[in-house]
Chains A and B, each alone.
Chain A
Amino acid sequence: MKNKIILITLLLFFSFCLIVLFKGLNNSNEYIPENTYQTLKEFKLKDLYSDNEISSDKIFVNSDYYILNIWASWCGPCRKEHPKLMELSKKTSVKFIGINYRDNPKNAKNFINKFGNPYSFIFVDMNGIISIELGAYGVPETFIINKDKKIIKKFIGFLDDKSFNEINSILK
Protein backbone atom coordinates (compact mmCIF):
# COMPACT_ATOMS: atom_id res chain seq x y z
CA MET A 1 0.00 0.00 0.00
CA LYS A 2 2.81 2.37 1.06
CA ASN A 3 4.77 1.59 -2.12
CA LYS A 4 1.70 2.29 -4.22
CA ILE A 5 1.29 5.72 -2.64
CA ILE A 6 4.97 6.53 -3.32
CA LEU A 7 4.64 5.30 -6.90
CA ILE A 8 1.50 7.34 -7.54
CA THR A 9 3.06 10.46 -5.96
CA LEU A 10 6.17 10.07 -8.13
CA LEU A 11 4.07 9.51 -11.23
CA LEU A 12 1.98 12.60 -10.47
CA PHE A 13 5.13 14.65 -9.84
CA PHE A 14 6.81 13.61 -13.09
CA SER A 15 3.57 14.07 -15.05
CA PHE A 16 3.30 17.58 -13.62
CA CYS A 17 6.92 18.33 -14.65
CA LEU A 18 6.28 16.91 -18.13
CA ILE A 19 3.16 19.06 -18.61
CA VAL A 20 4.98 22.22 -17.40
CA LEU A 21 7.94 21.56 -19.75
CA PHE A 22 5.66 20.68 -22.67
CA LYS A 23 3.63 23.86 -22.20
CA GLY A 24 6.88 25.80 -22.02
CA LEU A 25 7.83 24.53 -25.50
CA ASN A 26 4.92 26.44 -26.97
CA ASN A 27 5.81 29.69 -25.23
CA SER A 28 7.51 32.41 -27.20
CA ASN A 29 11.23 32.92 -26.56
CA GLU A 30 10.70 36.65 -26.75
CA TYR A 31 10.38 38.14 -23.34
CA ILE A 32 9.38 41.77 -23.08
CA PRO A 33 9.34 43.13 -19.52
CA GLU A 34 6.30 45.23 -18.55
CA ASN A 35 8.64 48.12 -17.75
CA THR A 36 9.32 48.47 -21.48
CA TYR A 37 6.07 50.37 -21.89
CA GLN A 38 7.32 53.64 -20.45
CA THR A 39 7.68 57.17 -21.74
CA LEU A 40 10.64 57.49 -24.05
CA LYS A 41 13.52 59.28 -22.34
CA GLU A 42 15.43 61.93 -24.21
CA PHE A 43 18.61 60.78 -25.96
CA LYS A 44 21.12 62.52 -28.16
CA LEU A 45 22.66 60.96 -31.25
CA LYS A 46 24.16 62.08 -34.53
CA ASP A 47 22.10 62.45 -37.69
CA LEU A 48 23.16 60.01 -40.44
CA TYR A 49 23.21 62.69 -43.11
CA SER A 50 24.35 65.90 -41.42
CA ASP A 51 26.55 64.29 -38.72
CA ASN A 52 25.16 66.83 -36.21
CA GLU A 53 24.18 65.67 -32.76
CA ILE A 54 20.43 66.06 -32.27
CA SER A 55 18.14 65.54 -29.30
CA SER A 56 15.34 63.01 -29.71
CA ASP A 57 12.95 65.60 -28.21
CA LYS A 58 13.36 67.67 -31.38
CA ILE A 59 12.49 64.73 -33.62
CA PHE A 60 9.59 63.12 -31.77
CA VAL A 61 7.19 65.98 -32.47
CA ASN A 62 4.02 66.67 -34.48
CA SER A 63 2.75 63.16 -35.02
CA ASP A 64 0.04 60.91 -33.58
CA TYR A 65 2.33 57.90 -33.69
CA TYR A 66 6.02 57.28 -34.11
CA ILE A 67 7.65 54.09 -35.31
CA LEU A 68 11.16 53.78 -33.99
CA ASN A 69 13.03 51.15 -35.94
CA ILE A 70 16.52 49.96 -35.03
CA TRP A 71 18.29 48.63 -38.09
CA ALA A 72 21.67 48.07 -39.76
CA SER A 73 22.80 47.55 -43.33
CA TRP A 74 24.64 44.33 -42.34
CA CYS A 75 21.48 42.80 -40.89
CA GLY A 76 19.68 40.29 -43.15
CA PRO A 77 16.29 40.40 -41.39
CA CYS A 78 16.35 44.23 -41.78
CA ARG A 79 16.38 43.78 -45.57
CA LYS A 80 13.53 41.30 -45.28
CA GLU A 81 11.32 43.68 -43.31
CA HIS A 82 12.24 46.81 -45.29
CA PRO A 83 9.39 46.54 -47.87
CA LYS A 84 6.92 46.40 -44.97
CA LEU A 85 8.45 49.54 -43.45
CA MET A 86 8.18 51.27 -46.83
CA GLU A 87 4.50 50.37 -46.98
CA LEU A 88 3.82 51.52 -43.40
CA SER A 89 5.63 54.80 -44.00
CA LYS A 90 2.89 55.79 -46.50
CA LYS A 91 0.52 56.31 -43.58
CA THR A 92 0.11 59.95 -42.66
CA SER A 93 -0.58 59.34 -38.96
CA VAL A 94 2.88 58.00 -38.32
CA LYS A 95 6.39 59.40 -38.35
CA PHE A 96 9.17 56.93 -39.00
CA ILE A 97 12.42 57.34 -37.09
CA GLY A 98 15.38 55.06 -37.59
CA ILE A 99 18.31 54.22 -35.37
CA ASN A 100 21.21 52.90 -37.37
CA TYR A 101 22.89 50.38 -35.06
CA ARG A 102 26.68 49.78 -35.05
CA ASP A 103 26.98 50.34 -38.76
CA ASN A 104 29.25 51.98 -41.29
CA PRO A 105 27.47 55.26 -42.29
CA LYS A 106 28.50 54.77 -45.93
CA ASN A 107 26.94 51.29 -46.02
CA ALA A 108 23.85 52.60 -44.23
CA LYS A 109 23.38 55.31 -46.88
CA ASN A 110 23.88 52.76 -49.68
CA PHE A 111 21.25 50.55 -48.07
CA ILE A 112 18.76 53.42 -48.00
CA ASN A 113 19.55 54.43 -51.59
CA LYS A 114 19.06 50.86 -52.77
CA PHE A 115 15.92 49.86 -50.83
CA GLY A 116 14.23 53.22 -50.23
CA ASN A 117 13.94 55.51 -47.24
CA PRO A 118 10.91 55.04 -44.98
CA TYR A 119 12.43 57.24 -42.26
CA SER A 120 11.91 60.95 -41.76
CA PHE A 121 15.03 60.96 -39.59
CA ILE A 122 17.88 58.53 -39.00
CA PHE A 123 19.98 58.58 -35.83
CA VAL A 124 23.38 56.92 -35.79
CA ASP A 125 24.10 54.72 -32.78
CA MET A 126 27.72 53.94 -33.47
CA ASN A 127 28.50 52.04 -30.25
CA GLY A 128 24.97 50.71 -29.63
CA ILE A 129 24.67 52.18 -26.12
CA ILE A 130 21.43 54.11 -26.75
CA SER A 131 19.80 51.05 -28.32
CA ILE A 132 20.71 49.00 -25.25
CA GLU A 133 19.36 51.79 -23.03
CA LEU A 134 16.10 51.49 -24.95
CA GLY A 135 16.07 47.80 -24.07
CA ALA A 136 16.93 46.49 -27.53
CA TYR A 137 18.28 42.97 -28.05
CA GLY A 138 19.74 43.70 -31.43
CA VAL A 139 18.52 44.43 -34.92
CA PRO A 140 15.91 44.77 -36.22
CA GLU A 141 13.69 45.99 -33.44
CA THR A 142 10.62 48.19 -33.70
CA PHE A 143 8.87 50.34 -31.14
CA ILE A 144 5.44 51.91 -31.60
CA ILE A 145 5.26 55.16 -29.67
CA ASN A 146 2.16 57.31 -29.17
CA LYS A 147 1.95 61.10 -29.34
CA ASP A 148 2.72 61.34 -25.59
CA LYS A 149 5.99 59.56 -26.36
CA LYS A 150 4.89 56.45 -24.50
CA ILE A 151 6.08 53.13 -25.91
CA ILE A 152 2.90 51.15 -26.56
CA LYS A 153 4.30 48.17 -28.43
CA LYS A 154 7.64 46.55 -29.08
CA PHE A 155 8.52 44.02 -31.78
CA ILE A 156 11.71 42.01 -31.44
CA GLY A 157 13.14 40.77 -34.72
CA PHE A 158 11.85 41.37 -38.22
CA LEU A 159 8.23 42.34 -38.80
CA ASP A 160 6.28 39.34 -40.07
CA ASP A 161 2.74 39.49 -41.48
CA LYS A 162 1.22 39.17 -38.02
CA SER A 163 3.26 42.08 -36.62
CA PHE A 164 2.56 44.10 -39.76
CA ASN A 165 -1.21 43.62 -39.36
CA GLU A 166 -0.96 44.44 -35.67
CA ILE A 167 0.82 47.73 -36.44
CA ASN A 168 -1.77 48.52 -39.10
CA SER A 169 -4.57 48.00 -36.61
CA ILE A 170 -2.84 50.28 -34.05
CA LEU A 171 -2.26 53.03 -36.62
CA LYS A 172 -5.85 53.02 -37.93
Chain B
Amino acid sequence: MKILKLFLIIIIIFNFTKINSAENNNDLVNKISKNIRCLICQGQSIYDSQSDFSISMKLLIKKKLEEGLNEKEIYDFLKDKYGQWISYNPEFNKKTFILWILPILLFIIGGAILFNKLFVKKY
Protein backbone atom coordinates (compact mmCIF):
# COMPACT_ATOMS: atom_id res chain seq x y z
CA MET B 1 0.00 0.00 0.00
CA LYS B 2 2.81 2.37 0.92
CA ILE B 3 4.55 1.63 -2.37
CA LEU B 4 1.33 2.36 -4.25
CA LYS B 5 0.94 5.72 -2.44
CA LEU B 6 4.55 6.60 -3.20
CA PHE B 7 4.06 5.63 -6.82
CA LEU B 8 0.94 7.82 -7.10
CA ILE B 9 2.72 10.79 -5.51
CA ILE B 10 5.60 10.46 -7.97
CA ILE B 11 3.19 10.33 -10.92
CA ILE B 12 1.30 13.41 -9.68
CA ILE B 13 4.51 15.40 -9.14
CA PHE B 14 5.87 14.36 -12.53
CA ASN B 15 2.68 15.38 -14.34
CA PHE B 16 2.42 18.65 -12.41
CA THR B 17 5.97 19.58 -13.45
CA LYS B 18 5.14 18.70 -17.04
CA ILE B 19 1.95 20.81 -17.03
CA ASN B 20 3.80 23.66 -15.36
CA SER B 21 6.54 23.58 -17.98
CA ALA B 22 3.98 23.54 -20.82
CA GLU B 23 2.21 26.53 -19.23
CA ASN B 24 5.52 28.38 -18.94
CA ASN B 25 6.23 27.67 -22.60
CA ASN B 26 2.77 28.91 -23.61
CA ASP B 27 3.29 32.10 -21.59
CA LEU B 28 6.62 32.64 -23.30
CA VAL B 29 5.09 31.96 -26.75
CA ASN B 30 2.46 34.63 -25.97
CA LYS B 31 5.09 37.06 -24.68
CA ILE B 32 7.30 36.68 -27.75
CA SER B 33 4.28 36.72 -30.11
CA LYS B 34 3.22 40.13 -28.76
CA ASN B 35 6.62 41.55 -29.79
CA ILE B 36 6.66 40.04 -33.28
CA ARG B 37 5.07 41.95 -36.13
CA CYS B 38 2.67 40.17 -38.47
CA LEU B 39 4.39 41.00 -41.74
CA ILE B 40 1.32 40.54 -43.89
CA CYS B 41 -1.21 42.32 -41.63
CA GLN B 42 -1.79 46.00 -40.95
CA GLY B 43 -0.32 47.02 -37.60
CA GLN B 44 -0.91 43.75 -35.80
CA SER B 45 1.37 41.51 -33.81
CA ILE B 46 1.29 37.80 -34.57
CA TYR B 47 -0.38 37.37 -31.17
CA ASP B 48 -3.39 39.42 -32.33
CA SER B 49 -3.53 38.04 -35.85
CA GLN B 50 -5.15 34.86 -37.10
CA SER B 51 -3.47 34.91 -40.52
CA ASP B 52 -1.74 31.76 -41.78
CA PHE B 53 1.60 33.53 -41.42
CA SER B 54 0.93 34.33 -37.75
CA ILE B 55 -0.37 30.87 -36.90
CA SER B 56 2.72 29.24 -38.48
CA MET B 57 4.99 31.74 -36.76
CA LYS B 58 3.46 30.97 -33.32
CA LEU B 59 3.93 27.25 -33.96
CA LEU B 60 7.54 27.89 -34.95
CA ILE B 61 8.20 29.85 -31.73
CA LYS B 62 6.70 26.99 -29.71
CA LYS B 63 8.87 24.48 -31.59
CA LYS B 64 12.01 26.53 -31.01
CA LEU B 65 11.25 26.77 -27.27
CA GLU B 66 10.77 23.01 -27.14
CA GLU B 67 14.12 22.60 -28.90
CA GLY B 68 15.68 24.54 -26.01
CA LEU B 69 16.23 27.97 -27.56
CA ASN B 70 15.85 30.91 -25.20
CA GLU B 71 13.90 34.11 -25.84
CA LYS B 72 16.90 36.04 -27.21
CA GLU B 73 17.91 33.21 -29.53
CA ILE B 74 14.37 33.09 -30.96
CA TYR B 75 14.35 36.86 -31.59
CA ASP B 76 17.79 36.56 -33.23
CA PHE B 77 16.59 33.69 -35.42
CA LEU B 78 13.54 35.65 -36.59
CA LYS B 79 15.56 38.83 -37.17
CA ASP B 80 18.03 36.80 -39.20
CA LYS B 81 15.21 35.48 -41.39
CA TYR B 82 13.01 38.56 -41.68
CA GLY B 83 15.20 41.50 -40.62
CA GLN B 84 14.85 43.98 -37.74
CA TRP B 85 11.40 44.96 -39.03
CA ILE B 86 9.91 41.78 -37.58
CA SER B 87 10.46 43.00 -34.02
CA TYR B 88 8.42 45.74 -32.35
CA ASN B 89 11.51 46.47 -30.27
CA PRO B 90 14.37 47.06 -32.72
CA GLU B 91 17.96 47.04 -31.45
CA PHE B 92 20.01 50.20 -31.23
CA ASN B 93 22.55 49.95 -34.06
CA LYS B 94 23.91 51.98 -36.98
CA LYS B 95 20.81 51.26 -39.06
CA THR B 96 18.28 52.17 -36.38
CA PHE B 97 20.01 54.96 -34.46
CA ILE B 98 17.98 57.71 -36.19
CA LEU B 99 14.80 55.94 -35.11
CA TRP B 100 15.91 56.06 -31.49
CA ILE B 101 17.67 59.44 -31.43
CA LEU B 102 15.28 61.59 -33.51
CA PRO B 103 12.37 61.67 -31.00
CA ILE B 104 14.78 62.59 -28.17
CA LEU B 105 16.39 65.25 -30.34
CA LEU B 106 13.01 66.72 -31.31
CA PHE B 107 11.93 66.65 -27.66
CA ILE B 108 15.08 68.54 -26.59
CA ILE B 109 14.79 71.10 -29.43
CA GLY B 110 11.07 71.59 -28.73
CA GLY B 111 11.76 71.94 -25.02
CA ALA B 112 14.53 74.48 -25.68
CA ILE B 113 12.21 76.55 -27.93
CA LEU B 114 9.45 76.45 -25.32
CA PHE B 115 11.86 77.34 -22.52
CA ASN B 116 13.19 80.21 -24.60
CA LYS B 117 9.69 81.55 -25.28
CA LEU B 118 8.36 81.18 -21.74
CA PHE B 119 11.24 81.88 -19.38
CA VAL B 120 13.97 83.83 -21.11
CA LYS B 121 13.32 87.55 -20.83
CA LYS B 122 13.70 89.54 -23.96
CA TYR B 123 15.39 92.89 -23.78
Chain A residues within 8 Å of B85, by CB: 31
Q: Are A129 and B63 in touch, CB under 8 angstroms?
A: yes
| CB-contacts of B42-78 with A (<8 A) | 51-53, 55-57, 59-60, 63
Binds B, one of A58-66, A85-93, A109-117, A131-139: A131-139
Q: Which residues of B contact A137 (CB under 8 A)?
A: 39-40, 53
Contact: A31 with B60, CB < 8 Å?
A: no
| Contact, CB under 8 Å: A128 / B80 | no
Q: List 6 additional A-B contacts (Cβ < 8 Å) besides A33-B81, A35-B80, A137-B39.
A: A128-B52, A129-B60, A132-B60, A137-B53, A138-B40, A138-B52
Counting from the closest, the 5 A-B pairs by CB-CB distance are A128-B56, A33-B83, A135-B81, A132-B56, A132-B60
Bound together, the chains give a CA A101 to CA B59 distance in angstroms of 14
Please give, as numbers and ranges, the residues of chain A lying within 8 Å of B57 by CB-CB distance. 132
Closest chain-A Cβ to B4's Cβ sits at a distance in Å of 41
A61 to B80, CA, bound (A): 26
Residue from B52, B55, B85 with most neighbouring chain A CB atoms (10 Å): B52
Instruction: Flag if A129 contacts B83 (CB, 8 Å).
Output: no
Chain B's interface: helix, strand, loop or mixed, by majority? helix
Does B82 sit at the interface, judged by CB under 8 A?
Answer: yes
Interface size class of A (residues with CB under 8 A): 10 to 19
Tell me the complex Cα distance, A134–B56, Å. 12
A127 at the interface (CB under 8 A from B): yes
Partner of A128, one of B39, B40, B59, B82: B59
Residues on the A chain within 8 Å of B51, using CB: 138
In the complex, whether A102 has a CB less than 8 A from a CB of chain B is: yes
Contacts of A128 in B (CB 8 A): 52-53, 55-56, 59
Write out the residue numbers on chain A whose beta carbons fall within 8 Å of the beta carbon of B63: 129
B-facing mask of A130-170, CB < 8 A → 1, else 0? Answer: 01111101100000000000000000000000000000000
Q: Give 6 A-B contacts (CB < 8 Å), ordered by A residue.
A: A129-B56, A129-B63, A132-B81, A135-B82, A137-B53, A138-B52
Q: How far is the CA of A129 from the CA of B81 in the complex (A)?
A: 13
CA distance A85 to B55 in the complex (A): 28
Assembly CA distance A101 to B55 (angstroms): 12
Please name the residue on chain B nearest to A36 by beta carbon: B81
Residues of A within 8 A of B53 (CB): 128, 132, 137-138
Give the complex CA separation of A134 and B60 in angstroms. Answer: 11
B55 touches A33 (CB 8 A): no
